[in-house]
A and B are shown apart, each in its own frame.
Chain A
């Protein structure tokens, strides 16, 4: 069956069409419009603050996509994804600051782009290491092994050893001008936004392609019933480890992007709460790539909007900032509970319903 409900009167005649990237001209138009909005309109319209928020949304999406790949597509529940983001961030930072790059690479501003790729690969391989137990355990026990990734990587290796290389207490600070792509120094929020949106578009494209391939179908088969998948000839250990690699790879990209956004790094940036937060994002967002996107937008933007509501009220009720702090904490937990009870399929399902309503409009069944 097609991944999308086509407008009335449109039918596919071949499987290739069924799995097509942009299946109709309308969809193609909508996608081009979306790209125009994020690449042209947003940078023109949004001010520095909202661009900063957009960067945070992008970082959250990049983090959540890896979690979605593990939990949503392969049923491998993780509570340690911040570790792989951290590995990406530290690899990228160390490569930028410490690696003896040939002058040519530095002159051409290639150190940071190369570091993103290397960071993604290193994070992917690190993720595979902690994915090895998935060959033997699943469910609750796998959650514990992924939590071990968090504690071993961030609390032990990065904090005890790696972060001391920074030479500034436990923190790394990237001097201005060190993060460059070609001739462009990434030193404003807008430039960071372009880095983010490019990385995000590429990641989404690669992930979406992967999911409609044999690999993606194998992951979904393992998620739905690993024994049945193995009976069908799928090497479940190989595909599970591949899933860990790709999830870690995307986490590594998120980490490398974070470096460009913050220009500073310490283990405190990758607390266990971040891992938990990313799971919350996909619980609220729901299934699929769009689930990670919607969940991230919801979690970041809604929290910011709530803050904006509190600001004017503080004029008349000064203590609201203290009260609101706890409400905000509570909102995260409440949002997850509310979605699990009232919208268990998340925001992406609601979006799917809206989309299909208009696809079939005015002649719905």
Chain B
């Protein structure tokens, strides 16, 4: 039998059917641009799976005031040109909002989504995405507003300030040298990475505010498996705490090498380096009797950690992806839920106001939220027309006795209201 004779009509049918179904569908569409195969797929896959599960939940809960959401997502493999074509395809399909992924797609699409007035809710938490109107930075540079970029989480700078504050409040007073000298801080991150370097200015500023001595930054690749030279470079400075801006793989390598080389510093980690895999990869450095103290920013709780709404996250993970055991799921799933729940609420509000459009979702949805509770251990969400910082602080956790435990929720706005209002916004 000639395979071509069968295959060509089948493909033609599928293709035409696809185009017609795209044209005829009447559901509310939300798009997704994810990375399940590219450079950030180690965390991106769990996030993408979690996002799809969250939209199943939303539909089961009645969708947008009774209207179902059709969630259409694509993998772009962290290739920026592909993110652009995927965005245009989603726009053509009539999506009302897009769930984005990382720094790559978010930064590349930022001018476009703001021009198109397309809400782009992503997992890139850079502080400069929180200013919806044009502004002038501390250095006098003009910055364009990013009114249609959003996320549910605290931004990276808030994460870092919160972690540093929690360590300073809770851990430094227990140090033998407390009161005798200033605490010492060093930063370990990949200098060229837009993600990793995003909060550096804020960290240095906060260290100055709290009275730290800041040592030399260490350039650690996101793909590093061996960081001994960087650790040896730090041994002379003897930091009390090291901030990590990278993702889990290289953070675990750095913590392992600190332990192996006897650098007894504490560690604070940005959210993308702090997940269930970290203690597994760090091994004895986090699990032995003399393990190092590792704290981290957790804008949302870990998968299965007790909190309201977490039962739904676990249930839907089991229901839609039974092949992936709970022990293999990461906090990236609740993170995806955080963004999805925020979009859900914004769309419901916009729909009630009779303006379910991009600008409607933004102005009558997101920007009407005041202390909206999504659960999952996330801070309550507030967006205003001039401030898209969703929360005023971040939950800090530590790994102790084989599990993650809360240290404290640091509310930066409550503690430094003046700086929060006028100085720290956007960097």
Binding site for B on A (CB under 8 A): 47-49, 52-53, 56, 59-60, 155, 159-160, 163, 167-171, 173-176, 187, 189, 261-264, 266-269, 271, 273-274, 300, 303-305, 307-309, 311-315, 318, 321-322, 324-326, 328-329
User: Which residues on the B side are within 8 Å of A59 (C-beta)?
Assistant: 81
Contact B144–A262 (Cβ < 8 Å): no
Identify the closest chain B residue to A324 (Cβ).
Answer: B75
Interface pairs (30), CB distance under 8 Å: A49-B89, A52-B84, A53-B85, A56-B84, A155-B192, A160-B191, A163-B192, A167-B139, A168-B128, A174-B111, A262-B112, A264-B111, A266-B103, A266-B104, A266-B108, A266-B194, A267-B192, A268-B80, A268-B103, A268-B194, A271-B39, A274-B79, A308-B19, A309-B18, A311-B21, A311-B72, A313-B14, A325-B36, A325-B37, A325-B75
Q: Is the CB of B14 within 8 A of A187?
A: no
Question: Scoring B residues 65 to 90 as 1 if CB is less than 8 Å from chain A, else 0, what string do you get?
Answer: 00000001111011111101100110
Question: What is the CA–CA distance of A328 and B82 in the complex, to the nearest angstrom?
Answer: 12
How far is it, in angstroms, between the C-alpha of A307 and the C-alpha of B72 when the chains are bound? Answer: 12
Q: Are A169 and B85 in contact (CB under 8 A)?
A: no
Flag if A49 contacts B17 (CB, 8 Å): no
Inside 8 A of A175's CB, which chain B residues have their CB?
A: 111, 142, 144
List residues 137-156 of chain B with CB under 8 A from any CB of chain A.
137, 139, 141-144
> A307 contacts B14, CB within 8 Å?
no
Is B11 a contact of A309 with CB atoms below 8 Å?
yes
The yes or no answer to B92 lying at the interface (CB within 8 A) is yes
Asked if B22 is an interface residue, CB under 8 A from chain A, the answer is: yes
In Å, the complex CA distance between A109 and B126 comes to: 33
Q: How far is the CB of A316 from chain B (nearest CB, A)?
A: 11
A312 pairs with B14, CB closer than 8 A: yes
Residue from A48, A169, A318 in contact with B88 in the complex, judged by beta carbons closer than 8 Å: A48
Interface centre among A48, A173, A261, A271 (most CB of B within 10 A): A173
Instruction: Give chain B residues whose Cβ lies under 8 Å from the Cβ of A56.
Output: 81, 84-85
- Contact, CB under 8 Å: B108 / A309: no
In the complex the two chains form, is A170's CB within 8 Å of B15's CB? Answer: no
Most buried by A among B15, B82, B108, B141: B108
> Distance in Å from the Cβ of B4 to the closest Cβ of chain A?
15
Residue B386 interfacial (CB < 8 Å): no
Contacting residues, chain B, for A173 (C-beta < 8 A): 107, 110-111, 144
Residue numbers in B under 8 Å from A303 (CB-CB): 82
Q: Once bound together, how far apart are the Cα atoms of A263 and B115, in whole Å? A: 11
Measured CB to CB, the nearest residue on chain A to B137 is: A167
Given contact pairs A269-B108, A313-B14, A329 touches B84 in the complex (Cβ within 8 A): no
Q: Are A169 and B81 touching (Cβ within 8 A)? A: no
Interface centre among A49, A56, A155, A273 (most CB of B within 10 A): A49
B98-145 with Cβ < 8 A to chain A: 103-104, 107-112, 115, 126, 128, 137, 139, 141-144
Give CA–CA (A207, B388) in the complex, Å.
Answer: 49
Contact of A48 among B74, B75, B79, B91 (CB under 8 A): B91
Q: Does B197 contact A (CB under 8 A)?
A: yes
Question: CB of B52 within 8 A of chain A?
Answer: yes
Report yes or no: B107 in contact with A49, Cβ–Cβ below 8 A.
Answer: no
Contact indicator A169/B137 (Cβ below 8 Å): no
Is the CB–CB distance between A160 and B192 below 8 Å? yes
B-chain residues with CB within 8 Å of residue A314 when the two chains form the complex: 72
B255 within 8 A of A: no
Q: CB-CB < 8 A to B115: which residues of A?
A: 176, 187
Q: Answer yes or no: B193 CB below 8 A from chain A CBs.
A: yes
Contact present for B14 and A52 (CB under 8 Å): no
Asked whether B198 is an interface residue with its Cβ less than 8 Å from the other chain, the reply is yes
Q: Assuming the A-B contacts A56-B81, A329-B77, are A307 and B37 also in contact, with contact meaning beta carbons closer than 8 angstroms in the complex?
A: no
Contacts A261-B84, A274-B79 known; 13 new A-B pairs at CB < 8 A: A56-B84, A60-B81, A169-B126, A171-B107, A268-B107, A308-B19, A309-B18, A311-B21, A312-B21, A312-B22, A321-B74, A322-B49, A324-B75
Which listed residue, A263, A273, A312, touches B111 by the CB 8 Å rule? A263
Which single residue of chain B is at the shortest CB-CB distance from A164? B197
A156: nearest residue on chain B (CB-CB)? Answer: B192
A269 to B109, CA, bound (A): 12
Known: A167-B139, A329-B77. A304 touches B89 (CB 8 A): yes
Q: Which residue of A lies closest to B52 (CB)?
A: A318
Given A173-B144, A308-B19, CB of A52 within 8 Å of CB of B88: yes
From residue A180, how far is it (CB to closest CB) to chain B in Å?
Answer: 15
Which residues, 182 to 214 on B, are CB-close (under 8 Å) to A?
Answer: 191-194, 197-198
A98 to chain B, nearest CB (A): 11
Scan B1-35; emit 1 where CB is below 8 A from any A CB, else 0: 00000000001001101110110000000000000
- Indicate if the CB atoms of B192 and A315 lie closer than 8 Å: no
> Are A168 and B11 in contact, CB atoms less than 8 angstroms apart?
no
Q: Which residues of A contact B128 (CB under 8 A)?
A: 168-169
Name the B residues within 8 Å of A263 (CB-CB): 111-112
Residues of chain A with a CB closer than 8 A to B103's CB: 169, 171, 266, 268
Report the minimal beta-carbon distance from A199 to chain B, rounded to whole angstroms. 17
How far, in angstroms, from A312 to B23 measured CA to CA in the complex? 11
Which residue of chain A has the shortest Cβ distance to B14 in the bound complex? A309
Contacts of A318 in B (CB 8 A): 52
Residues of A within 8 A of B107 (CB): 168-169, 171, 173, 264, 266, 268
The chain B residue sitting closest to A304, CB to CB, is B85
A170 near B89 with CB under 8 A, answer no
Complex contacts, B91 vs chain A, CB 8 Å = 48-49
Nearest opposing residue in chain B for A330, CB measure: B37
Pick the contact of A52: B45, B85, B137 (CB < 8 A). Answer: B85
In the assembled complex, the CB of A307 is this many whole angstroms from the nearest CB of chain B, namely: 7
B37 touches A326 (CB 8 A): yes
When chains A and B are docked, how far (Å) is the Cα of A308 from the Cα of B89?
Answer: 9
CB contact between B22 and one of A267, A274, A311 (< 8 Å): that residue: A311
Q: Which residues of A contact B108 (CB under 8 A)?
A: 262, 264, 266, 268-269
* CB of B322 to closest CB in A, whole Å: 12
A268 to B37, CA, bound (A): 16
Tell me which residues across on chain A come within 8 A of B192, comparing CB atoms. Answer: 155, 159-160, 163, 170, 267
When chains A and B are docked, how far (Å) is the Cα of A271 from the Cα of B103?
Answer: 14
Residue of A nearest to B115 (CB): A176
